[in-house]
């Protein structure tokens, strides 16, 4: 019984299921093939995420396509945005993969704060990029999404596909319904996003499925400086834990040996 002591915080149906199987090998194998076993995997990912990211400090989560690689304008802008924010003391959180995510992690590594990657186990992607100080891997999308939103003080949304849209509308829903405190949701690249914004105005607002004031939940910008301004302005107005940049590295001096002359 003692070896199960750590499970006493689990719901009674789960505990009863475990003990009904006993502690023998066959019982454990039956448990691992059951739906109930997923509860343990979910709990493990939650605990790992909370313990790893606790104490991270103010952070900005940056989203964007895994398909936009180095040399693409948005990739290079992601590097610049992340470095600017990291130099201001904000940790940078991304999905940990290639493309825009890599650009943001790369910028964070160049800056003066933590670079965090929250990777996901899916068939098509993704190998973690090399620019991460903290790297976590998740099986479940909903836990990964929780970590994105829980530790972010702002979202910066670069051009992306369904995954990026999912994160955008998840944040808008939580803000609209007051389930989270309002924080900057910044769309980067008006050329990319203007079609979506026009659709929101001409269809959703016109049909009454959202209110016109809901459009104020996000901003749209075209330069890294504008992102930096919006994030810092939010902190100036609403306050919060002050970001603390890492100290600047001390310059390395090279000493040249001088030969004595006779």
Stated as kind and residue range, the H or E segment containing 148 is: helix 141-150
- What is the reported pLDDT for 248? 60
249 within some domain: no
7 within some domain: no
Mark whether 95 and 31 lie in a shared domain: no
Mark whether 74 and 46 lie in a shared domain: no
91 within some domain: yes
> Across all residues in the chain, what is the average pLDDT?
85
Does the pLDDT of residue 7 top 50, yes or no?
no
Residues in the chain: 262
- What is the reported pLDDT for 236? 85
Q: Domain of 184: which CATH number?
A: 3.40.50.450
Give the model confidence (pLDDT) of 178-224 as tens digits: 998 889 999 999 999 999 999 999 999 999 999 999 999 999 999 99
C-alpha 64: how far from its chain's center? 11
Parent domain of 144: 58-238
Mark whether 123 and 185 lie in a shared domain: yes
- For residue 50, CA distances in Å to 34, 62, 85 come to 26, 19, 23
Mark whether 34 and 84 lie in a shared domain: no
Does the pLDDT of residue 13 top 70, yes or no?
no
Q: Taking residues 92-96, what's their average pLDDT?
A: 97
Question: Model-level pTM?
Answer: 0.81
In angstroms, how far is the first alpha carbon of the chain from the final one?
85
Mark whether 99 and 182 lie in a shared domain: yes
112 within some domain: yes
């Amino acid at each position: 019984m003692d070896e199960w002591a750590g499970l006493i915080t689990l719901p009674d149906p789960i505990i009863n299921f475990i003990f009904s199987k006993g502690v023998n090998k066959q019982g454990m194998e039956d448990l691992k093939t059951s739906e109930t076993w997923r509860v343990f995997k979910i709990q493990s990912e939650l605990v790992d995420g909370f313990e790893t990211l606790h104490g991270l400090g103010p952070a900005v989560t940056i989203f964007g396509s895994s398909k936009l690689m180095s040399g693409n304008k948005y990739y290079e802008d992601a590097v610049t945005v992340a470095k600017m924010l990291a130099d201001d003391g904000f940790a940078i959180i991304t999905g940990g993969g290639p493309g825009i995510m890599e650009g943001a992690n790369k910028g964070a590594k160049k800056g003066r704060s933590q670079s965090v990657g929250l990777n996901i186990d899916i068939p098509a992607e993704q190998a973690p990029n090399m620019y991460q100080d903290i790297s976590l891997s998740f099986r479940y999308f909903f836990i990964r999404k929780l970590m994105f939103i829980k530790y972010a003080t702002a979202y910066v949304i670069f051009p992306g596909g369904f995954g990026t849209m999912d994160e955008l509308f998840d944040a808008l829903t939580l803000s609209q319904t007051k389930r989270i405190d309002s924080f900057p949701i910044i769309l980067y690249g008006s050329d990319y996003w203007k079609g979506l914004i026009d659709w929101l105005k001409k269809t959703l607002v016109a049909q009454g499925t959202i209110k016109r004031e809901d459009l104020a939940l996000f901003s749209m910008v075209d330069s890294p400086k504008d992102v930096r301004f919006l994030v810092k302005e939010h902190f100036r107005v609403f306050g919060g834990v002050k970001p603390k940049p890492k100290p600047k590295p001390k310059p390395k001096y090279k000493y040249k040996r001088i030969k004595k002359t006779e």
